[in-house]
A and B are shown apart, each in its own frame.
Chain A
Amino acid sequence: EIVLTQSPATLSLSPGERATLSCRASQSVSSYLAWYQQRPGQAPRLLIYDSSNRATGVPARFSGSGSGTDFTLTISSLEPEDFAVYYCQQRSKWPLTFGGGTKVEIK
C-alpha cells in the first residue's frame, strides 16, 4: 500500500499569507495525485488532480506541483474561506490512499 505523508499537520497563517502544503508518497505515484479541501461539516471538494490540474471552478490562487514521490499544494494568498483541512490522494495503485491531512488554521 502506498502511504501518503502530509506535512505539516497544522499550518497557522494569517489571511493574505502564502500556504505551502506537502505530500510525500512512500513510492512513486507518477503524477496521479489529487488535492481536496474539506471545511467543517462539509464533504471534500476536489481542488487539483493529476498533480497540477485545477478542477472546474477552483480559484487560480490554488496550484499544485510535483511528480514521483514529492508534491506541493500552494495557496498564493489565503482567503478567509481557505481555512480548512486539505488531503492528498493517489490513484496510481490499488488500494487508493489518502494522506492524513493538513489543517490550515487562522493565526
Chain B
Amino acid sequence: EVQLLESGGDLVQPGGSLRLSCAASGFSFSSYVMSWVRQAPGKGLEWVSSITSSGDRTNDAESVKGRFTISRDNSKNTVYLQMSSLRAEDTAVYYCAKGIGGNFYDVWGQGTLVTVSS
C-alpha cells in the first residue's frame, strides 16, 4: 500500500524550531518529487516546499524562504522539513505529498499539526 506518514508536529514558541519527517512506503521513493503543503485552521491549501527526486534542487514559497529547508534521505525513504524562526502564521496542518508528472500530488499523508504560540 502506498503510504506517507508525517511526524514531528508540536506546540512551539514563536522564534522556535521544529523538524517534520515524512516516511514513505509502497512506492519507489527515490523516483519522485516530494513536497510539503500546509493548511492553516479553517483556511485553504498553501504550497510550502518541493524537492526533486535526487534532492539536487529545491523550491520554497516566499513566505518560508530562508526559514524552512526541505531535504530528503532516499536511503531511508524519508523527506524532512526543517523549520526555524517560526511565527504564529506558520500554524497549520503540514502535509507531505508525492508528486506525479512533476508537482501535482497523487498521494498525501494524514498531516501533522504545528502550532506556534506562546
Contact = CB atoms under 8 A, between A and B. Distances in A.
B63 to A, nearest CB: 9
A96 B50 contact: yes
Interface residues of A, number: 23
B32 interface: no
Interface residues on B, range: 20 to 34
Interface in A23-48: 34, 36, 38, 43-46
A91 B50 CA distance: 12
A43 B100 contact: no
B101 A50 contact: yes
Contacts of B11: none
B106 A46 contact: yes
A31 to B, nearest CB: 11
A95 B65 CA distance: 11
A94 B111 contact: no
Contacts of A50: 101, 104
Contacts of A43: 95, 108-111
Interface of B: 35, 37, 44-47, 50, 59, 61-62, 95, 100-106, 108-111
